[in-house]
Structure 1
Amino acid sequence: MSRILIFGGTTEGRLLAQYCHEQKKAVWVSVATGYGKMVLPESPYLFIHETPMDEGEMEQFISDKGITLVFDATHPYASLVSKNIADACERTGVRRIRVIRESLTGKEGVSEDGRIVWVESVEEAVQYLCGKAGNLLVTTGSKELIKFTALDSFEERVYARVLPTVSVIAACEKIGIKGKHLIGMQGPFSVEMNEAMIRQFEVRYLVTKESGNAGGFLEKMKAAAECGITAVVVGRPSDETGMTAEEAKKVLAESESDRIEPASIAPVSAASHKRKVTLIGTGMGGPEQMTGQAQKVLKSCDVVFGAERMLENAGEILKDKKKLPWYLSKDILPWLEAHKEFKTIGILYSGDTGFYSGAKKMVESFQKEPYGQRYETEVLPGISSVSYLCSRLKTGWEDVLLFSLHGREGDIAEAFKRSDRVFALLDGTNTVNHICGRLIEAGYADVKLSVGERLSYSDERITTGTPKTLRDQKFDVLSAVLIER
């Protein structure tokens, strides 16, 4: 029985994966980016490895999974990756099939008419363009885009069309290509779309690779001809031998792994490739306020997110860790999708994750698709402000009505009508002074009011009085209060 691995991330790789899904043929598919995984069909028969592998890691993966047949369906210009795959297969004694993309050199619409300049590399393309005037539309990808910064006035002349991922956009902006000069779009594109971009940006030279039909090469050439501009084409690295995607499908059809049930390769289930996200309640302050489990998990994290104050308070635990001062899913998720190398993730929350915490919404964000397939979440509780304050007051809190005015609207007097003991979290609008005024107004001027500020910190302060005696005092805007009859 064959165990099959497809190195994809290309149109050909997607076609082979789709075929395996349709035929209920269980295979591993290796892609180097999150986008490469996103374009694959969701299937119980496809087991995705979505991080790049070097030569040694490929060899280890092939050995560990018992792979007997490898399809190299990587990009025609990914010559180093193909070489690594070939070397890994040779050392493990595994059969390798190179899936090739038909070259369009010499085809109709790709004639040697003086408007197409063929070069052997991006470096040679840049060398040809040195001293040439006019704008450029560069469609050779983001990895070698930095080479075009050698051209005079590249910030004003170069328009780069790249994949619309956070990491790619950030890399392009870092080298100085940004704003309207950065076109983040996923192709391939029609002739009309290419023409529109050429005219919109007054392009004089279109730089591309001979990437075949799957890469929209002919459409680029026709658009360049229609607009009367010069196409600078980087030719294929070498004449490759191998099979087309259609020929590779026939090999798959004949393989002995036909209609393997997913359970037969359960040890490498999709869950085993999920990244671990732990939402951690840090208690009231520094490391001494955390549970032992929380400290242990933090020490194992590759990257930790949280409000800047919490990251600082974690102290030595986060020494040498990657730390980012973010606590919203809209910031955290895009960063994680662009940085697949971080496998173990921690997100810090003050107090307890189950007590008016942002942890609930964060869990919901990670459970939404497609993230639910990529991340496994765990929630660790912490010491809540209500339990801490009541312990400092030497009282229990089993009969306390829990109430939050932190970023919320509510009437503390109405809450006090329902219970003899009310705990509340406050904010800059619902301050101690504000609730004292409301309690006095409702006829509760002489109830007992305990105010906790900077709980667990060295400058912690707990003040007990009545709404009448505390109304005009100054308190921290993020205080916690316990109101008792």
Structure 2
Amino acid sequence: MKMASILVFAGTTEGRRIAEYLRGHAPEVYVCTATEYGRELVEDGENIHVLAGRLDVAGMGELARGCQAELVIDATHPFAMEVSKNIRTMCEKEDIPCVRVLREGAAGGENAVWVKNIRDAAAYLADKKGNILITTGSKELDPYTRIPDYRRRCFLRVLSTKEAVEHAVAKGFEGKHLIAMQGPFSEGMNEQLLVHVKARYLVTKDSGKIGGFQEKMEAARKAGAVPIVIGRPQERGLPLKEVFLMLAEKYGFRDPRKIVLIGVGPGDGKCLTGEAREAMESADVLIGAERMLKAAENIPVEHYEEYRAEKIHEFIQMNSRYRRIAILLSGDTGFYSGAAGLKEELKEYDVTVLPGISSVSCMAARIGVGMEGVPLLSIHGRSCNYLDYLRESGRVFLLVSSGKEVQSVLTRLCRYGWGRARVYVGSRLSYPGERIVQGLAERLAKSGTEWDGLSVVYMELPRSRRPEPSDGRDGDFVRGKVPMTKSEVRSVILSRMTPAKDAVIYDVGAGTGAVSIQLAKRAIDGMVYAVEKNEEGLSLIHKNMLRFHVSNIRPVHGEAPEILRDLPAPDLAFVGGSGGNLRRILAAIWEKNPGARVVVSAITINTVAECMACMQAFESHPAEILQVQVSKGKKAGDYQMMEGQNPVYIVTFEGEGQQ
């Protein structure tokens, strides 16, 4: 007699994961995909049977009866609403329980334009200018064909299947405007494509973390493209993790696999904690990068070399025979570690984290300094404004990933006037070839030393150094003949902008860079783009950056709004000089990020009039106008008299939809 089975309608990553989870553990499993391509992504064998083909309600019912399905799992795409509706209808007719797998939402998209469907996305773009990258698939293309000049402006990315390409060509997408590729797409690939097609807009669906939504959002931010996001339909169902738990309980699977993330310390096996060694010795398999596995070379357990979270996840899914899995990570799991990303990637499993000795802790012990209050930073595969943290704290620990980065750190210290900073470079800590070099930055920068990539750098400013110049005193800035926003007005401007620590900011008409300096100090993890068309002004910005030891400013030579085109989308903008182009500048900023707050200062009546016109033109951006007039005391003989400065109007435009 034929046993009851499970019927899985797949076509997504969730469907493939469910098939692998059920492999060898459950009754017979029938996985149905819409296309042959989808079928190739699921391995047939053991108790897994893969079928391909589009089915209507009757066809689904015939399949369910033929395989005697006692449970149906709908793991189709979140936007495959018609298919999900047919699956529910079939299950009601056949009286079979149905579980809908819900895809978890992804963070990001705060600065995007959200719409309900593709028709609304196309309608929003109909009166916008600039190129458009469309990543919503090939099924519903008619709305895009109603965008003016769509054959020239729109670029469509679809799956590299014959069906998708033929349908796209039939709708007028061809040549360089049709990109047939198979994902997944990394953030870098998305960014390169956006830049290549010079996209001002990216149309995407909220496909969640698994669907690459976060990668697209971050790529759009870096490429300066506005995301147009089609919101996900509301459904009832269970997240993937709960589906796994339900299946384990229903079919009596063994306890979920145990995964341990282990910090192995600086690298040498002798720095392993006793708890870490015990967990490694009791594991069925050890997973990690080559250097991590070397620390466990004397532990007689199977090794698998891999460090990428998604590949580790794939290996675990495809090798259900391993029940106790240890993943080895460099240093301490709580300090610039891959542990957090792995824990998120492997959240359907029972994951434990064991800390290790960090290389920074090892370095601090070697050179005899405390770690209290010292910023712990890293430029290992990331950017970091470490010079700004050094300015604020006087001391910094820094992880690097190459010898060139060590040399770059030393060179930048000298360039920003800190050649007398004391620097320690610890290389290959805990290994037999351990080396610690110390000295003044200016001496080490010229020493010609070949630095090791596996290094920790400790920097400390001289205690007897000169007091830092004050960004609140106009006289402390290098001035020249370029106009500068006065300190009292700057304080009001900064109170209106309130930049976040990691904000991306434009300073348009930056002049001497006085506002840029103060913004950059507050956005210590962010970046200020100081836009100035005057050559003298650009030179002054560079000089003031060095004078105030501020590194997170990028001087940009050119005239707005044209020069803004290639900059990343801003969170905030200050316009101190518009050259009569205020309306176009505001439009360019909000085209990149409709949610950006913009503060404008105006001294002339002409600019005030422009501001008033813009308040009417951009009604979706609530505005507030403020007048500031400062008077300063001036000695006149034995008396003090107040001397008034010109009034300054400060207009604050909020982001779209904000109050």
Name the TM-score, length of structure 1 as normaliser.
0.50
Counterpart position of 2:118: 122
Asked if residue 169 in structure 1 is aligned to residue 168 in structure 2, the reply is: no
Deviations for 1:154-175, whole angstroms, at most 9, x for unmatched residues? Answer: 1111111110011211111121
CA distance 1:245–1:2, change in 2 (3 Å):
farther
Q: Would the aligned equivalents of 1:2 and 1:256 in 2 still touch at CA under 8 Å?
A: no
Q: Would the aligned equivalents of 1:25 and 1:258 in 2 still touch at CA under 8 Å?
A: no
Asked if residue 244 in structure 1 is aligned to residue 271 in structure 2, the reply is: no
C-alpha deviation, 1:226, in angstroms: 1.3
Q: Which of the numbers 184, 198, 222 marks the counterpart of 1:226?
A: 222
Q: Would the aligned equivalents of 1:3 and 1:257 in 2 still touch at CA under 8 Å?
A: no
Q: Percent same amino acid at aligned positions?
A: 42
What SS class does the counterpart of residue 49 from structure 1 fall into? strand
Counterpart position of 1:433: none
What SS class does the counterpart of residue 72 from structure 2 fall into? strand
C-alpha deviation, 1:228, in angstroms: 1.9
Q: Would the aligned equivalents of 2:135 and 2:203 in 1 still touch at CA under 8 Å?
A: yes
Q: Would the aligned equivalents of 1:26 and 1:257 in 2 still touch at CA under 8 Å?
A: no
Deviations for 1:191-243, whole angstroms, at most 9, x for unmatched residues? Answer: 111110011010010000000011100111111111222110000122x2211
What SS class does the counterpart of residue 69 from structure 2 fall into? coil
Q: Which of the numbers 118, 133, 154 marks the counterpart of 2:129?
A: 133
The 2-side partners of 1:167 and 1:188 are apart by 19
The 2-side partners of 1:8 and 1:256 are apart by 20
C-alpha deviation, 1:129, in angstroms: 0.5
C-alpha deviation, 1:25, in angstroms: 4.7
Asked if residue 57 in structure 1 is aligned to residue 56 in structure 2, the reply is: no
Q: How does 1:466-481 map to 2 (within 5 A)?
A: none
Q: Would the aligned equivalents of 2:4 and 2:28 in 1 still touch at CA under 8 Å?
A: no
For 2:12, give the aligned amino acid: T
CA distance 1:153–1:22, change in 2 (3 Å):
farther
Deviations for 1:75-94, whole angstroms, at most 9, x for unmatched residues? Answer: 11111111111111111111
What SS class does the counterpart of residue 187 from structure 1 fall into? coil
Q: Which of the numbers 211, 223, 239 marks the counterpart of 1:215?
A: 211
The 1-side partners of 2:103 and 2:51 are apart by 23
The 1-side partners of 2:24 and 2:192 are apart by 38
The 2-side partners of 1:253 and 1:53 are apart by 29
Counterpart position of 2:180: 184
What SS class does the counterpart of residue 210 from structure 2 fall into? helix
Q: Would the aligned equivalents of 1:209 and 1:233 in 2 still touch at CA under 8 Å?
A: yes
For 2:63, give the aligned amino acid: F
Q: How does 1:75-114 map to 2 (within 5 A)?
A: 75-104=77-106, 107=107, 109-111=108-110, 113=111
Q: Would the aligned equivalents of 1:6 and 1:73 in 2 still touch at CA under 8 Å?
A: yes
Q: Would the aligned equivalents of 1:194 and 1:223 in 2 still touch at CA under 8 Å?
A: yes
What SS class does the counterpart of residue 215 from structure 1 fall into? coil
Q: How does 1:294-313 map to 2 (within 5 A)?
A: none
Q: Would the aligned equivalents of 2:109 and 2:227 in 1 still touch at CA under 8 Å?
A: no
Deviations for 1:17-52, whole angstroms, at most 9, x for unmatched residues? Answer: 111225365200111011110111232322122001
The 2-side partners of 1:36 and 1:65 are apart by 20
The 1-side partners of 2:75 and 2:43 are apart by 17
Asked if residue 47 in structure 1 is aligned to residue 49 in structure 2, the reply is: yes
Gaps of 5+ in 2: 255-659
Counterpart position of 2:39: 37
Deviations for 1:238-268, whole angstroms, at most 9, x for unmatched residues? Answer: 2x22112222122223344979xxxxxxxxx
For 1:213, give the aligned amino acid: K
Counterpart position of 1:157: 153
For 1:168, give the aligned amino acid: A
Q: Would the aligned equivalents of 1:187 and 1:215 in 2 still touch at CA under 8 Å?
A: no
Q: Which of the numbers 243, 249, 257 marks the counterpart of 1:254?
A: 249
Q: Which of the numbers 187, 191, 214 marks the counterpart of 1:195?
A: 191
CA distance 1:258–1:3, change in 2 (3 Å):
farther
C-alpha deviation, 1:110, in angstroms: 2.5
Deviations for 1:92-113, whole angstroms, at most 9, x for unmatched residues? Answer: 1111111110123xx3x321x3
Aligned-residue Cα RMSD (Å) equals 1.8
Q: Would the aligned equivalents of 1:207 and 1:232 in 2 still touch at CA under 8 Å?
A: yes
Aligned residues: 252
What SS class does the counterpart of residue 71 from structure 1 fall into? strand
The 2-side partners of 1:254 and 1:43 are apart by 24
What SS class does the counterpart of residue 102 from structure 2 fall into? coil
Q: Would the aligned equivalents of 2:24 and 2:46 in 1 still touch at CA under 8 Å?
A: no
Q: Would the aligned equivalents of 2:4 and 2:27 in 1 still touch at CA under 8 Å?
A: no
Q: Would the aligned equivalents of 2:6 and 2:72 in 1 still touch at CA under 8 Å?
A: yes
Q: Would the aligned equivalents of 2:10 and 2:31 in 1 still touch at CA under 8 Å?
A: yes
Counterpart position of 1:7: 9
List structure 1 runs of 4+ shifted beyond 4 angstroms. Answer: 256-259
Q: Would the aligned equivalents of 1:3 and 1:69 in 2 still touch at CA under 8 Å?
A: yes
Q: How does 1:210-359 map to 2 (within 5 A)?
A: 210-238=206-234, 240-256=235-251
Name the TM-score, length of structure 2 as normaliser.
0.37
The 1-side partners of 2:85 and 2:26 are apart by 30
C-alpha deviation, 1:2, in angstroms: 4.1
For 2:162, give the aligned amino acid: V
CA distance 1:257–1:41, change in 2 (3 Å):
farther
